[in-house]
Amino acid sequence: MEITVPDISIIVVNYNTMNLLRDCLVSLFQTDGRQCEVIVVDNASDDGSAAMVEQEFPSVLLVRNRQNLGFSKANNQGMRLARGRYFLLLNSDTVVRAGALEIMAGFMAVHAAAGAVSCRLLNADGSIQASISHRPGPVLLLLRLLGVSKLVSGDRARRRLARMGGFFLGRTIGSYLAPYNTRDVPLEVGNISGACLMLRREAVEQVGFLDEGFFMYFEDMDYCLRLQDAGWKMYYLPQGEVVHLVGMSSGGRMRNYSTHSYRALFHFYKKHFSNPMVAVVRCMVVAALSVRWVCNWIQSKFSKESVYRQNQIDLQKVIRVCFEQTK
């Protein structure tokens, strides 16, 4: 019997997000995702996620891991099983809107140089999510540590800034604001969020799979750099839309205070930058997190809320990571 190979293989890594995963899969099977190969890799969830997939979505190819192998390794498991021309790495905390998959795959089909694409990501309230950027480096890291994005909130304000153009704002900030530009045209970008990342099979075969040295976070930035270095282009397609409930697939914990996040950050810089730059980055992180620790310590003295004390504990763990030897 002849086997029909689907154009798109959708790989969803799950860890204890049963209800979010259900919503994600429902959105796929209610749209053009029903024509795709869907692979769920469950990282030893204990909330009934795997059983839910088996019972409610029997056409999904389910991989049950006996332990949490991390985001990179689980995605690699899915890509090794995938039969499609295009691999879509999709977070379990997403809801795919009609037409998004067709737009991304259609663009890849007519642009042979495109190794990766993504579409417009939206927050739960419908506002636009910053999901692309310029080629990552120390400037982008500094902006994130300083929380610059929080200084300008709301789509309207960010659209206003985007219209000013990169000439005034600089390339890094300009690329950060690119999703808020009102022009619905494809944009060539330097970095795409792994929450919704479509990859061409030929690009993966050339570049290889995700670096499993990243347990969680920064594996997408690393992969985008590798794609660029291999000569592939990446594009942002604002015509398609996917709702992304930021942070929910990682259990809702604050990424800023995650030890996984900062171990991945230092691994990323050690891999792509010089040793002096790694030292500078460590100092930047220690300084920024120390200020946050002091702020939470002060707030804990004037508030009975336990969140400030918990933030202090989390921040202490992350600060200790800054002094670990990077592998």
Q: 1 falls in which pLDDT band (50, 70, 90)?
A: very low
**140 pLDDT higher than 70:** no
pLDDT digits (tens, 9 = 90+) for 286-298: 998 899 899 999 9
Residues 140 and 222 in one domain: yes
Number of domains in the chain: 2
**133 pLDDT higher than 80:** no
Residues 167 and 273 in one domain: no
What's the confidence (pLDDT) of residue 254?
A: 41
Of 17-21, 49-53, 113-117, 303-307, the range with the lowest mean pLDDT is 303-307
Residues 102 and 175 in one domain: yes
What's the confidence (pLDDT) of residue 259?
A: 87
What is the spatial distance between Cα 1 and Cα 22, in angstroms, rounded to a whole number?
32
As a whole number, the mean pLDDT across the chain is 86
What's the confidence (pLDDT) of residue 172?
A: 55
Average pLDDT over residues 167-171: 53
What's the confidence (pLDDT) of residue 159?
A: 59
Residues 278 and 209 in one domain: no
Residues 84 and 213 in one domain: yes
Residues 80 and 203 in one domain: yes
Model confidence pTM above 0.95: no
57 touches 18 (CB < 8 A): no
Task: Please identify, among 250, 266, 293, the residue that sits at the C-terminal boundary of a domain.
Answer: 250
Q: Is residue 71 part of a domain?
A: yes
Task: Please identify, among 250, 278, 299, the residue that sits at the C-terminal boundary of a domain.
Answer: 250
Residues 24 and 94 in one domain: yes
Q: Is residue 326 part of a domain?
A: no
Long-range contacts for 103-109 (Cβ within 8 Å, ≥24 apart)? 103/237, 103/239, 103/240, 104/198, 104/237, 104/240, 105/7, 105/8, 105/198, 107/186, 107/235, 107/237, 108/198, 108/200
Average pLDDT over residues 247-262: 62
What's the confidence (pLDDT) of residue 32?
A: 87
Residues 164 and 274 in one domain: no
Which residues does residue 91 pair with via DSSP β-bridges, in sequence order? 13
Q: Is residue 327 part of a domain?
A: no
Q: Is residue 259 part of a domain?
A: yes
Q: Is residue 1 part of a domain?
A: no
**44 pLDDT higher than 60:** yes
**169 pLDDT higher than 90:** no
pLDDT digits (tens, 9 = 90+) for 15-25: 999 999 999 99
Task: Please identify, among 250, 273, 298, the residue that sits at the C-terminal boundary of a domain.
Answer: 250
Q: Is residue 113 part of a domain?
A: yes
Structural domain including 315 reads 255-321
Residues 178 and 243 in one domain: yes
Residues 261 and 123 in one domain: no
Residues of the chain with pLDDT > 90: what percent?
59
Residues 236 and 271 in one domain: no
- Give the N- to C-terminal CA distance of the chain in Å, as an integer: 48
Residues 131 and 274 in one domain: no
Q: Is residue 2 part of a domain?
A: no
Nearest of 214, 234, 215 to residue 224 by alpha carbon: 234
CATH number at residue 120: 3.90.550.10
